[in-house]
Structures are given as structure tokens and as C-alpha cells.
Amino acid sequence: MNKWLMMLVGLFAGLAQAGDIPPDVLVKDTSQDVLAIVKKDKDIQAGSQKKLLDLVEAKVLPHFDFKRMTQLAVGKHWRTATPAQQESLTNEFRTMLVRTYSNSLSAYKNQTIEYKAFTMKAGDTDVTVRTQVIQPGGQPVPINYALEKQPNGWKVYDVEVDGVSLVTNYRGSFGTEIGKTGVDGLIKTLVDKNQTAAKK
């Protein structure tokens, strides 16, 4: 888990009219934009949590479908959750990922991103954009983004880092927690984790 947390850092600055941008161009242009912000902002480089959270909220989150990500992470239990529970799960999962990305951005230094060749057919609405992060003195880390075409543009609903899917990774721990304490128990666990993280 820590590996992808350290690598998920070049993600998706906001672009106007993102709905008109092909998914591979969106990934490339926006990731380079975020890297430029991180490298230039001295407060971010110094570890300013507020600046990091603001950056993620403004630039990263608009390009993610958190409801679908949460649904995939919760798996079969999503169907038995009430609408109120689904909303709470989505909100808490979103909050957790905001802090995850913020922490990842603070660890980003001299890595660069390579973009793999991308093709899609006319009418495709579900695609994967493949990249890899080049680390000075380390092995390249493949990062693949699963995106779905929505009315307001392409949205990320899963990220696979070095062969590990974000939603699949959480599905195991979420399923275990639900099996022990139910959906409300998982919600409480996420709330507690988010509250603890907010105090740090």
C-alpha cells in the first residue's frame, strides 16, 4: 500500500473544459501541471498541510468519481447499504484519499513520468491510460489509470500501481471490517481514522 501512496503524486490539476480533452492528453497535461506547482511552491516543499490539502481539493478531486470508487471498494456490500450509508461511505473514503494524496505530494521530489502509447476506438467510454514513474536510482513504477467517459468529462475510477489496484486493495480490508461490524462499523472506522489524521 505504501508504495502506491508514495507514487500517486502527479495527478490531475484542473483544466477548463476537461470534457473535451481525450483521456491520455488529460493525464499527461494535468500531471505535468501538478508537478510544476509542487516544484515551484516553497510552502508545499516545506510540508504545508493546508497548501497540500487545498491543492488536492482544487486540482485533483474534480477528476475522480469517488462514488464509483467507493462502490467498487465496498464490493457486494454496497447493494445492501442504505442510501444514507452509501453517502457516508463515499464522503469518508473521499476524505481519506484527500489526505493520502496530500501526503504523497509532500514526498514528491525528482521523479518523472513517462506516458505509454495510447489508442482508443471511436465511442469508447472506458479506457486505461498507462504511465510509469521514473525514480532516480530506483526501478520504474508502472501506474495505470482507469477512466470512464461521463457527461462532464473523463473521470478516474481506479488506479493500479505496480500491479496493485486501489479499489481491489481496499475491498479486502473493507470486506473484513463489514463482516465483523457491519456497514456502520466500517463507516465508524473510516470516521475515526479521518479524525485521527486531521489532528496530526
Whole-number Å distance between alpha carbons of 19 and 154 = 6
Residues in the chain with pLDDT values less than 50: 1-7, 9-10, 12-18
DSSP-assigned letter for residue 151 = T
Question: What pLDDT does 8 receive?
Answer: 53
What DSSP string describes 113-133? EEE------TT--EEEEEEEE
Taken in order of first residue, the domains within the chain and their CATH numbers are 2-199 (3.10.450.710)
From residue 31, give the alpha-carbon distance in Å to each of 63, 78, 84, 145, 168.
Answer: 12, 31, 34, 12, 24
Q: Which pLDDT score is estimated for 13?
A: 39
Task: Give the per-residue pLDDT at 15.
Answer: 42
pLDDT in the model for residue 46? 79
57 secondary structure, DSSP code: I
Q: Which amino acid is at 86?
A: Q
Q: What is the DSSP letter of 71?
A: H
Q: For residue range 44-83, what is the model confidence (pLDDT) as tens digits?
A: 777 788 887 887 777 777 888 999 999 999 999 999 999 9
For position 39, what pLDDT does the model report?
80
* Ramachandran angles phi, psi of 144, nearest 5°: -115, 135
- Tell me which H or E stretch contains 7: helix 2-7
Record the pTM: 0.83
pLDDT score of 168: 92
